[in-house]
């Protein structure tokens, strides 16, 4: 018997990295999963891994019409949502003085607006007693070089979790924040770091982390499962940091 048997979960940004790892774990625990992403090819690859308990929806969480279409799709399939994982996000590292309008807008459109409307528009389908997990980052409280805009966006996500835990308490909907530290995912390759330098980059990060290494996506999935399942039934409004101690010591 799984910890999410007969539950319906929507996971944004579920085609790779942390989102895909969460989807895999949720399927293993008995959930029916809908993943979202912007690239159909990546979604198709993810579905090949996830199997028949999963389906995919192509769309951009920063676009209101795409989010409306997502929930129309989920409503037709299942008629409800029990767990929402707002994971979709982007990062464009740059020194403060070099941040462009495009980098700023992209990070706030997806990391903030996307999380807001993904969650707000899910409410009519979200079951009373359901669970929402917002994926933030330890950048929301720890200054990291080149991350000023990303950090501000993720601070908004942390604030949303606190506010929404209060706003939705009358429906017994738990809202929590999951804040990863450095995790070995494909997003590293999207940060502008040349492939030949990625090993050195990861080794350097590992030296900064008390546990001596980067995190693994499945470790974040285990934490998401705790927050989403009955294991975390008396937990709401928190920020669960899965960071190898980087932001704690």
- Residue of 71, 78, 104, 150 marked catalytic: 150
The predicted model scores a pTM of 0.94
DSSP states along 54-99: EEEEE--TTSHHHHHHHHHHHHHHTS-EEEEEE---------GGG-
Q: Does the active-site annotation cover 71? A: no
> How confident is the model over 137-168, as pLDDT tens digits?
999 999 999 999 999 999 999 999 999 999 99
Task: Please tell me the CATH superfamily of domain 8-242, with its number.
Answer: NAD(P)-binding Rossmann-like Domain (3.40.50.720)
> How confident is the model over 216-234, as pLDDT tens digits?
999 999 999 999 999 999 9
Q: Are 127 and 105 in contact (CB under 8 A)?
A: no
Parallel, antiparallel, or unpaired: how do β-strands 54-58 and 32-37 relate? parallel
Each domain of the chain, given as residue ranges in start order, spans 8-242
């Amino acid at each position: 018997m799984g910890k999410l048997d007969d539950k319906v979960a929507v996971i944004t940004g579920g085609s790779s990295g942390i989102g895909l790892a969460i989807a895999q774990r949720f399927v293993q625990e008995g959930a029916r999963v809908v993943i979202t992403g912007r690239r159909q090819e990546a979604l198709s690859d993810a579905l090949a891994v996830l199997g028949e308990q999963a389906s995919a929806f192509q769309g951009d969480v920063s676009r209101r019409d795409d989010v409306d279409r997502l929930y129309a799709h989920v409503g037709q399939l299942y008629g409800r949502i029990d767990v929402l994982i707002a994971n979709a996000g982007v990062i464009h590292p740059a020194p403060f003085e070099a941040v462009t309008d495009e980098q700023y807008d992209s990070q706030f459109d997806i990391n903030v607006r996307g999380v807001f409307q993904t969650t707000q528009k899910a409410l009519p389908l979200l079951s009373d007693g359901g669970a929402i997990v917002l994926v933030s980052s330890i950048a929301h409280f720890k200054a990291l070089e080149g991350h000023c805009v990303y950090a501000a966006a993720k601070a908004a996500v942390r604030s949303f979790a606190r506010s929404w835990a209060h706003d939705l308490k009358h429906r017994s909907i738990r809202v929590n924040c999951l804040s990863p530290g450095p995790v070995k995912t494909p997003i590293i390759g999207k940060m502008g770091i040349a492939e030949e330098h990625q090993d050195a980059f990861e080794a350097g990060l590992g030296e900064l982390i008390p546990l001596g290494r980067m995190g693994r996506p499945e470790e974040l999935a285990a934490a998401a499962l705790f927050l989403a399942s009955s294991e975390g039934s008396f937990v709401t409004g928190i920020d669960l940091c899965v960071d190898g101690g980087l932001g704690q010591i």
